[in-house]
Amino acid sequence: MERRVVFGGKLLPYLLVAPQLAVTLVFFFWPAAEAVYFSTQQQDAFGLSTLFVGFENFTSLFADPDYLHAFKVTALFSVAVTALAMLPALLLAVMADRVVRFAAVYKTALMLPYAVAPAIAGVLWLFLFAPGVGVLANALRWAGIDWNFLLDGNQALALVIVAAAWKQLSYNFLFFLAGLQAIPKSLLEAAAIDGAGGWHRFRTIVLPLLSPTTFFLFVVDVVYAFFETFGVIHAVTGGGPSKATEILIYKVYYDGVVGLDLGGSSAQSVVLMIIVIALTAVQFRYVERRVHY
Amino acid sequence: MESRSGHLAWLPHLVLLLGLLLVGFPIYVTFVGSTLTTPEILSGHMPLLPGGHFVENYLTALAQGMPQLSGVPVARLMLNSLVMALSIALGKMLISFLSAYAIVFFRFPGRMLCFWMIFLTLMLPVEVRIVPTFQVTAKLGLIDTYAGLAIPLIASATATLLFRQFFLTIPDELIEAARLDGAGPLRFMWDVLLPLSRTNLAALFVILFVYGWNQYLWPLLITNTASMTTLVVGIKSMLTVDANTPWHLVMAMAILAMLPPAAVVLLMQRWFVKGLVDAEK
């Protein structure tokens, strides 16, 4: 889309885009280029000299069982976070769309986790489930369950999944509610007159009309689970116990910042970049198609 | 529909109340924890009603230096978080407003190149290119500075795209009228476009303030001294591996870390919800 009427001016437009372009070039293109460059280099132990090694960082990455393990953990983690963030949000949005009384109260309260940092969400859930500290950890022990996520990898994974999904619930809820409220009521009334029951109407009218929102949220949630959940993992489990909660972004951080393996970490960054670009491309293709119908 | 008047009218309320419980319980327990003492918390049967140490705990956290934070009090961390969040929010809004204005209201060579360069940044969150971005920032000498905390994060396309979308809906007649009245491009931007963008600016402010305040990985990397770190990052240093975690102070810090972004979201709710849904379309 273009404007018909525009202003003249030779220098002014450049001055106006200059600040954003400068920041983008220095803090976006330069680092991205460095990531690609370093992913083909290998540094010696003292960081004094580097050597071009082509794709060796990538091949050794995919031969590394730890990396493949992080991939598996990330897949499980992101699927679980996405499902746990979306399904309750959809249910709550459907219910919030139906009520008249207290609607504003529900909506406001359910919005709150949006304002909570992932790391803080992690701390809240840690306080509930820390062995010997949290009220829910004590309750589990009371019920005879051997709860100690500091030792049990599956329990640790479950805890970070719940904390990460809890934070994202609000975002999904707000979008589902907006999507539901955009569905013409006349459509649902017509279906009701034709004798379609509540569940039937939901399945055949509401869900299909909600599918663009659902798809959009799916992509957003996966990207969230991949990257923004770093704070949850770092604050609650530190990737442990024995790498049970080490997702890809945590490994990039750990190998690059703690392990000082620049080449390997950069290669991981490049892999992540490719994943995000693919996800975004899929999303834009879908959005394009959506515009036409 | 039938549930509104019929026999299932209570069901949505029940589900929503369960939702409120899910959302509210962790926050409530954290608040209760922030009003107790650590021995009370660790007693094995922590009370579920607020205790009597509210004022004491928050004063200690805010004003007294924390040994785990090299003697820096939480008030200083809050100041750092505030500076970072405000710089990111206002900085992003400013540079995005200007660049979107140039791209929509002018024709100049390289215009589409500029647009695509900005658009590309939408794709890569800072976490992905974290280590090289850190190195670039270090080369520029921005470690442990407010500039280093904020500037690398203001390079993002979301705000530019939102402004662009909005600017495209401005009717041509408005520009023609402004021209007839002798207003130049800058005058038009300041007197016409800026007031018209108020709603978008308010919504963006909420989204970007929350984004800036809640950053974690970036401030973790870019700050080495405790006096420059943010509250969200500082909490992690309080969680020691051994049993010495001062839980009552950690909980007070968690509440303090949630308050400002929650206040911004709640106070500006009306614009925020509309803006959030529009921004992502």
pLDDT single digits (tens) B233-256 = 999 888 876 678 889 999 999 999
What is the pLDDT averaged over residues A15-26? 91
Whether residue A19 lies within 8 A of chain B, CB to CB, comes out as: yes
Choose the closest CB to B235 out of A30, A88, A123: A123
CB contact under 8 A, A269 and B15: no
Please report the pLDDT score of residue A114 as a whole number: 93
Q: Find the range with the poorest average confidence among A173-177, A249-253, B121-125.
A: B121-125
Arithmetic mean of pLDDT, A76-83:
95
Q: Report the pLDDT averaged over residues A176-199.
A: 85
Q: How confident is the model at residue A229 (pLDDT cuts 50, 70, 90)?
A: very high
With a CB cutoff of 8 Å and minimum separation 6, the contacts of B6 are none
Contact of B214 with chain A, judged by CB distance below 8 Å, is answered with yes
Of A182 and A115, more confident = A115
Using a CB-CB cut-off of 8 Å, the residues of chain A touching B41 are 133
Q: Which amino acid would we find at residue B122?
A: L
Which residue from B24, B185, B239 is facing A9, i.e. has the nearest CB? B185
Rounded CA-CA distance A153/A171 in Å is 28
Q: Which residue of chain A is at minimal alpha-carbon distance from B253?
A: A120
Average pLDDT over residues A77-99: 93
pLDDT value at position A47?
60
| Confidence bin at B279 (pLDDT 50/70/90) | low
Instruction: Give the pLDDT band of residue B48 (cuts 50, 70, 90).
Output: confident
Range scoring the smallest mean pLDDT among A103-107, A242-246, B274-278: B274-278
B18 occurs within a structural domain: no
Domains delineated in chain A: 65-118+160-292 (1.10.3720.10)
Least confident range from A83-87, A111-115, B113-117, B276-280: namely B276-280
Q: What is the pLDDT of residue B123?
A: 66
Q: Between residues 68 and 87 of chain B, which touch chain A (CB distance below 8 Å)?
A: none
Where residue A287 falls among pLDDT bands split at 50, 70, 90?
low
Between A165 and A276, residue with greater pLDDT: A165
Asked whether residue A221 carries a pLDDT value surpassing 70, the answer given is yes
Angle at CA B184, nearest 5°, toward B180 and B190? 110
CB A225 within 8 A of CB A82: yes
- What pLDDT, on a 0 to 100 scale, did the predictor assign at position B93? 93
Q: Are A210 and A176 in contact (CB under 8 A)?
A: yes
Q: CATH code at B99?
A: 1.10.3720.10
> Which value, in Å, is the radius of gyration of the alpha carbons in chain B?
24
Q: How far is CA A217 from the centre of its chain?
A: 10
User: Which of B23, B125, B247 is nearest residue A133 as measured by Cβ atoms?
Assistant: B247
H helices of B106-184, in order, are 111-120, 130-139, 146-150, 158-167, 172-180
Interface residue B166 vs chain A (CB under 8 A): no
Q: Does position B21 have pLDDT exceeding 60, yes or no?
A: yes
* Lookup result for tokens 């009384």: A101
pLDDT of A110 > 90? The answer is: yes
Q: Give the CA distances from residue A209 to residues A161, A206, A213, A284, in Å, rounded to whole numbers and listed in that order.
A: 29, 5, 9, 18
What is the span of the domain harbouring residue B219?
69-234+273-279
* Partner residue opposite B30 with nearest CB, options A13, A16, A124: A124
Contact B154 A24 (CB under 8 A): no
Q: Quick check: B3 pLDDT over 70? A: no
B18 CB neighbour count, 10 Å cutoff: 14
Does residue B155 register a pLDDT over 80? no
Number of domains in chain B: 1
Residues 6+ apart with CB under 8 A from A2: none
Q: Rounded CA gap, A173 and A177, in Å?
A: 6
pLDDT at A285: 72
pLDDT at B1 over 50: no
Judge residue B90's burial from the number of C-beta atoms within 10 Å of its C-beta, 0-12 exposed, 13-18 middle, 19 or more buried.
middle
Residue-wise pLDDT tens digits, A189-210: 888 888 777 788 888 888 888 8
CB contact under 8 A, B136 and A108: no
Closest chain B residue by Cα to residue A6: B105
CB A228 within 8 A of CB B229: no
**Angstroms from A189 CA to nearest CA on chain B:** 8
* Helix, strand, coil abundance in chain B, percent, nearest 5: 70, 0, 25
pLDDT of residue A44: 64
pLDDT exceeds cutoff 60 at B178:
yes
Per-residue pLDDT, B25? 95
Please give the distance of CA B170 from its chain centroid, rounded to a whole number: 29
Q: What is the mean pLDDT of residues B109-130?
A: 80
B136 at interface of A, judged by CB pairs closer than 8 A:
yes
CB contacts of B24 in chain A (<8 Å) are: 109, 112
The model's pTM is 0.90
Q: How large a percentage of chain B has pLDDT more than 90? A: 38
Q: Which residue in B has a C-alpha nearest to residue A171's C-alpha?
A: B276
Question: Is the model more confident about A125 or about A281?
Answer: A125
Q: Name every chain B residue with its beta carbon within 8 A of the beta carbon of A4.
A: 172
Long-range contacts of B161-165 (CB under 8 A, 24+ apart): B161/B100, B161/B119, B161/B122, B162/B96, B162/B200, B162/B204, B162/B275, B162/B278, B162/B279, B163/B96, B163/B97, B163/B100, B163/B101, B163/B197, B163/B200, B164/B100, B164/B103, B164/B104, B165/B278, B165/B281
How confident is the model over A142-167, as a mean pLDDT? Answer: 91
From B27, B120, B217, residue closest to A253, measured CB to CB = B217
Across the interface, whether the CB atoms of B42 and A132 are under 8 A apart is answered yes
- The pLDDT assigned to A292 comes to 36
Count how many Cα atoms sit within 13 Å of the Cα of residue A99 in the half-sphere of its side chain.
22
- Distance separating alpha carbons of residues A121 and A231, to the nearest angstrom: 9
Contacts of A126 in chain B (CB under 8 A): 239
Q: Taking 90 as the threshold, does the pLDDT of residue B158 lie above it?
A: no
For A4, the closest of B122, B172, B215 (CB atoms) is: B172
Q: What is the pLDDT of residues B198-215, one digit of tens each?
A: 888 888 899 899 999 999
